[in-house]
Amino acid sequence: MENEKNAIVAEKNPSLTARDQQRGGVSTPKVALLAAIPLLGVVAAFGIAPDTSTEHVPLQQVIEDIPLGASAGSAPGAETQYWHEERIQRGDTIGSLLARLQVDDPDGTAYLRSARHVRSLYQLVPGRTVRAVTTSQGRLVSLRYLTSDGLELIVERRGNDLVAREQTLNTEPRLLMSSGEIQTSLFEATDAAGLSDAVAVQLVDIFSSEVDFHRDLRPGDRFAVVFEGFYSNGELVRTGRITAAEFTNAGRTYRAVYFQDPQGRGGYYTPDGKNMRKAFLRSPLEFSRISSGFSTSRFHPILQIWREHKGVDYAAPTGARVKATADGYVQFVGRQGGYGNLILLRHANGYGTAYGHLSAFARGLRVGQHVNQGDIIGYVGSTGLATGPHLHYEFRVNGLHQNPLRLASPPGPPITTQVKSAFEEGSRALLDRLNLIHGMNLAAMN
């Protein structure tokens, strides 16, 4: 039987298709066999000369005593130590995780629950790995964990005490690909695709000028992303920038690639070089819902009178981040009547925006300060005449209020002729990756 297995390993199957051979030349049953054999030892492919008889090969049983030496690196008489490794599961607590790591150390557990320097361990990210060293009695010797900030938490025993520290990891960048389909919400779809919230927020930022993520999402909308992943010892530590993305909304597909010019200015562009960034964002909030639209006559819920509503209200939880919808300068920051905490921004060509009912302003924000599109300038609240937490957003042209939901925003500058060849060369490989994801999606649906 063993000879038959080895023959299968060494044999080239002439019935494999060209596609199979491109994918490694092994059909599915043989993949399972090859994956299982290394568990028994080292596998080597070999040949047997024609006409060689294998039926009467003499066998001889040899038994030898092999002396067991001391464990490498352990001092004579030292207590035996064991390595344990566990992946964090959804719903895990520090207690359940330590139990699976076979830590039976009340003092060590108490330290991990209370020490100030191990608070990053409280943010248990599903899928992350925790490694621990214990004695045979379960006493904690050391513990290592990759934190959400891309650092490594190290807890080590020194004498009878445990000491914690964090260190920066040397990481290896890789380009990763993923895709998904929206059924209920974008975050639900990105979670199902194994993407972090940081990638989901970038996806919104990239396409927010084309897609209104508050009103336009539909079940069946699809996305595909190529993004940076940073690894340490084979484990994903953090995600970086999206380098290419595709979003299909209501049957219309948008594509974007990231490009940085020789001066270090970076941005997202369509495959033909048009700027994805518009002069104004469609919304000053990443995710929310419109609770009240622009109107010439609305019944005010507090004043109990009919009057104009010169902006758009976005319902969002207190503390939600508010972004500047365009480059500009701070014209006013402070408290003003029914607006409560208010920010006024002055933009080019007579445009202005207002952000009211804020709970707080961004630290250091001051009159005359320049802000960039997308900068966090404040946080949602319910100050002033507000029945609950929301953002009141206004858009003004030469001092006159306009409905921001109906204005067509002009695009930003496109790729220039000086860098067009560099852009086309750099985007070609990224678009090929998007095409590969798209092809995989089509194959999965067939």
Question: Is 81-168 a domain of CATH 3.40.50.970?
Answer: no
The partner residues of 380 in beta bridges, in order of sequence, read 358
How far is residue 314's CA from residue 379's CA, in Å, rounded to a whole number? Answer: 12
Residue 277: the pLDDT is: 84
Counted residue by residue, the chain has a size of 446
Q: How far apart are CA 221 and CA 179, in angstroms?
A: 11
d(CA 369, CA 115): 41
Half-sphere exposure of 13 (CA within 13 A, CB side): 16
Backbone angles phi, psi at 197, to 5 degrees: -65, -30
CATH code of 289-402, in short, is 2.70.70.10
Domain at 171-277+415-446: CATH code: 3.10.450.350
List the chain domain ranges. 2-40, 81-168, 171-277+415-446, 289-402
Kindly give the confidence (pLDDT) of every residue in the chain, 446 residues in length, as a single tens digit, with 9 standing for 90 and above. 444 434 333 333 433 443 344 334 433 333 333 333 333 333 333 344 445 454 555 667 777 765 544 444 445 556 788 999 888 888 888 889 999 999 999 998 899 888 887 888 887 888 788 899 999 999 999 998 888 777 888 999 998 889 998 888 788 899 999 999 999 888 889 988 988 888 998 998 899 878 878 778 899 999 999 999 988 877 787 889 999 999 999 999 999 999 998 888 789 999 999 998 888 888 898 766 676 665 555 545 655 555 567 888 998 899 999 999 989 999 999 999 889 999 999 998 889 999 999 999 999 999 999 999 889 999 999 998 888 899 999 998 888 888 887 776 777 788 888 999 999 998 999 999 999 887 665 434 33
The C-alpha atoms of residue 68 and residue 59 are separated, in whole angstroms, by 27
Structure pTM? 0.56
CA pair distance 442, 58, nearest whole angstrom: 56
Extended strands (E) in 289-372: 289-292, 295-299, 306-309, 312-315, 321-323, 328-336, 340-346, 351-361, 370-371
**276 CB-side CA count, 13 A:** 25
Q: Which pair of structure tokens corresponds to residue 392? A: 């009141």
End-to-end CA distance of the chain: 39
CA nearest neighbour of 111 among 52, 151, 49, 153:
153
Pairwise CA distance, residues 194 & 207, whole Å: 20
Same fold, 81-168 and 171-277+415-446: yes
